[in-house]
Amino acid sequence: MNDRCKKDLGGYLVQLDQWREQSFVTNFIFWSGWGPFFTGITDEKSEGKYYHYNDNTPAKNLHWKLFQPDNWYNEDCVEIWHDGLNDRRCGDRGRYVCETRV
């Protein structure tokens, strides 16, 4: 997924490094009726320690869905829904959101 963002757009999977960015994406998902979407957040290196896949910076102030993250069946990637974040297996197929710098 991240490779597709780089190749097609010169970007990366969305990092959600600010609350207003997460709010913008969740509003898009809510009004579009689509979702969920993979993000560029993971805890693959150390369970429970989330970081941005693109630049290895810590992912902070994450707004999770109720009872998430739960690491059900080794879920190390993060997807965004209209009502918050959920951990999900990285190998699952799904939609994703790319981010580029302007």
Q: Can you read off the two tokens belonging to residue 63?
A: 């707004």
Measured in whole angstroms, the distance separating CA 9 from the mean position of its chain's CA atoms is 17
The CB density around residue 83, as the number of other CB atoms within 10 Å, is 14
> Could you tell me the CATH number of the domain that includes residue 37?
3.10.100.10
Domain assignment of residue 37, given as a range: 2-99
* Number of independent structural domains in the chain: 1
Per-residue pLDDT of the chain (102 residues; tens, 9 = 90+): 778 898 888 999 999 988 888 898 889 888 988 889 999 999 999 999 999 999 999 999 999 999 999 999 999 999 999 899 999 999 999 999 999 987
Query: Which residues partner with 53 through β-bridges?
Result: none
**Helix and strand tally (H, E) in the chain?**
2, 7
Q: What is the pLDDT of residues 75-91, one digit of tens each?
A: 999 999 989 999 999 99
Give the N- to C-terminal CA distance of the chain in Å, as an integer: 21
